[in-house]
Chain A
Amino acid sequence: MIEVQNLTKRYGSKVALNDVSFTVNQGEILGFLGPNGAGKSTTMNILTGYLSSSSGAAKIGGKDILDDPMGAKSKIGYLPEQPPLYLDMTVSAYLNFVYDLKKCKLPRKAHLQEICDLVKISDVSHRLIKNLSKGYRQRVGLAQALVGNPDVLILDEPTVGLDPKQIIEIRNVIKKLGKKHTIILSSHILPEIQATCDRVVVINNGNIVADDTPDNLSQNLSHNARYTVRIQGPENEVRPIISSIQGMKKVDCLGEREPGVFEYLIESAEGSDVRNDLFKRLSERNWPLLGLQNSALNLEDIFLQLTKDNAAPPVLDKKAQKEARKQAEAILEEHETEEIEKIADEAAVDYTQQSAQEEQTGLAPEPQEQPKNDGGDE
């Protein structure tokens, strides 16, 4: 339905788009993802004939936007970044104007009513656009794109400025429209793309860096299993211990979530399961594991990874890894010696008392260790 071949756009010496090619099939919803200034809007403006490309071709339904602009434009409904609204018109007058402008042949009243109902602006149809809120203006802009039932819808950040409820509504509208129309949708709201699109094109600095389904993208990029864990225990001790687990790649502390309870994002290397070891280590220390949740790489992480200038995989560097291991070993040793001493002391005491004491001191030794540890280093 939409074919883009080797599209390049230069503004003077600045290259806004560099040799961009992709196709969108009939009935597909394509998500266009990229940071600000990546070239999303430029691509859309070229597709709709608002701008011309420096080289390359764009075809809408087999019609070239430069050779047959009338034919191509009549197949497109376009919602630009800023909805193109005449503020001095009422909503219904504006939609009637767009209807005339697009030389629409459908029954006027029924068609416009249908659109108004779809985007829920029927109740404001007699109001001046300048008096409408941002959310309503955005919807009128979407309604404008739908006039004439075009085959292709190009929506530049359609949900910007809407409240969460409206965002869900508009998303559902877009999904519904996607059954009949071919849609290109740009956004930097990532869950939106994940929720609505069949395919994602990630664009950065005018280049396409990825073109795949959201699921494939997250699979290809996340070789490592990632978990979010909640551990009750002091961060400065827990962290080195779990970092030293075999196959652990990365440990990030996400902060204290409850008093004394820290949340960590851990990432293990490909093919190794760290959950078993994690549980064992923590139970040895008597640090309760309060939560373990699998957190796969979401689109946000993919986006950041793909659009990073030097896309090196985030690995803990070797030096830091070594230090963490050393620290962990030191703590382990101390714990062991301590425990042996404790057991020896307690052996002198009555056997029944011992077991009770052990339970009590499960959390107690930690604050005592701290000064010892510091002293040892000096």
Chain B
Amino acid sequence: MLAIFRRELGSYFSSPIGYIFLAVYYLFSGYFFLGTTLVADTNSLSGVFQSLFTVLMFIVPLLTMRLMSEDKKLKTDQLLLTSPLNLSSLVYGKFFAALIVFLVGVAITPVYALIINIFAQPEWIVVIGNLVGLILLGAALISIGLFISSLTENQLIAAIGGFAIMMIFMLIDGLSSVIPIDIVKKIIDGISFSTRYGEFTTGIFNISSVLYFISVVVIFNFFTVRVLEKKRWS
């Protein structure tokens, strides 16, 4: 797993993808920090975190699009799948490499809190809760993107497909207000990313939401393993 992790991490920074991801992330989070915190004259960072949800949807596919599809295209999967390495360490190696690049991006947010600290006391507990929420959301989106990437050998399709699935998870709670059936409503609210992430940004630390995001990670990574396994039997 460590070998895969190191290679993928290195590959983010030997190609422009890692840098573009970080640049875009810093640009937008800085813009939202300016707009929703500094200009609005508040000590709350929640506005920044709320806006970052949309930004993540657009840039996480950038991180995940080539993770699996490139191996298929370059036939390097023949090396990976014929070496003494089990499939889940392969998938998790790639997952953690993308997660680390994402965390390098997220690391900018505590800096914003420090900047606020100059003018006023930020609510540290809320900021930490927000950070945890953001990291969990990112991890869930990465595992979805990774799964989509394993389905195709075309990076563009992987990116657009990942983006579409993430969009569905974000927009799905719009449906719940128009569907009159209670049980469906509950299910939709249950799987909606934005409802759960919204709780974090308003300062509610809900253990069930934490478990939910972790489950999404585990399930989608499991799906990815199954896709690789299935390929052998095709």
Q: Which residues of A contact B (CB under 8 A)?
A: 11, 45, 48-52, 69-71, 73-74, 76, 78, 80, 82, 84-89, 93, 97-98, 100-103, 144
Q: Which of B7, B74, B76, B82 contacts A73 (CB 8 A)?
A: B82
Q: Which residues of B contact A87 (CB under 8 A)?
A: 74
Contact A78 B82 (CB under 8 A): yes
Interface range, B side: 20 to 34
Q: Which residues of A contact B174 (CB under 8 A)?
A: none
Task: Knowing A11-B234, A86-B7, A89-B14 are in contact, say whether A101-B78 is a contact too (CB < 8 A).
Answer: no
- Expressed in whole angstroms, the minimum distance between the Cβ of A59 and any Cβ of chain B is 16
A144 and B78 CA atoms in complex are apart in Å by 12
A93 and B77 CA atoms in complex are apart in Å by 18
Q: How many A-B residue pairs have CB under 8 A?
A: 71
Encoded as 1 (CB less than 8 Å from any A CB) or 0, chain B from 67 to 110 comes to: 00000001111111111111000000000000000000000000
- Expressed in whole angstroms, the minimum distance between the Cβ of B164 and any Cβ of chain A is 27
Of all chain A residues, the one with the shortest Cβ separation from B85 is: A101
A63 and B10 CA atoms in complex are apart in Å by 35
Contact B7 A97 (CB under 8 A): yes
Q: Which residues of A contact B80 (CB under 8 A)?
A: 84, 101
Encoded as 1 (CB less than 8 Å from any A CB) or 0, chain B from 191 to 234 comes to: 00000000000000000000000000000000000000000111
Q: Which of B11, B79, B232 contacts A101 (CB 8 A)?
A: B79
Contact A97 B6 (CB under 8 A): yes
Contact A82 B75 (CB under 8 A): yes
Q: Which of A49, A82, A144 contacts B81 (CB 8 A)?
A: A49
Q: Assuming A97-B6, A101-B4, what are 7 further A-B pairs, CB within 8 angstroms?
A: A52-B232, A70-B86, A86-B76, A88-B11, A88-B14, A89-B10, A102-B83
Q: Which residues of B contact A85 (CB under 8 A)?
A: 74, 76
Q: Which residues of B contact A80 (CB under 8 A)?
A: 75, 78-79
Contact A100 B3 (CB under 8 A): yes
Contact B74 A84 (CB under 8 A): yes
Main secondary structure of the interface of B (DSSP, over half): helix
Contact B232 A50 (CB under 8 A): yes
A85 and B75 CA atoms in complex are apart in Å by 8
Encoded as 1 (CB less than 8 Å from any A CB) or 0, chain B from 147 to 183 comes to: 0000000000000000000000000000000000000
Which A-B residue pairs are the 9 nearest by beta carbons?
A: A100-B3, A84-B79, A74-B84, A48-B82, A84-B76, A80-B78, A73-B84, A101-B3, A52-B232
- Expressed in whole angstroms, the minimum distance between the Cβ of B21 and any Cβ of chain A is 16
A12 and B177 CA atoms in complex are apart in Å by 46
Task: Knowing A86-B74, A89-B14 are in contact, say whether A49-B4 is a contact too (CB < 8 A).
Answer: no
A101 and B85 CA atoms in complex are apart in Å by 7
Q: Which residues of A contact B7 (CB under 8 A)?
A: 86, 89, 97
- Expressed in whole angstroms, the minimum distance between the Cβ of B203 and any Cβ of chain A is 43
Contact B79 A98 (CB under 8 A): yes
- Can you pick out 26 interface pairs between chain A and chain B where the beta carbons lie within 8 Å of each other? A48-B82, A49-B82, A49-B232, A50-B232, A69-B84, A70-B84, A73-B82, A74-B84, A80-B79, A84-B78, A85-B76, A86-B7, A86-B74, A86-B76, A88-B11, A88-B14, A93-B10, A97-B3, A98-B79, A98-B83, A100-B2, A100-B3, A101-B3, A101-B80, A102-B83, A103-B84
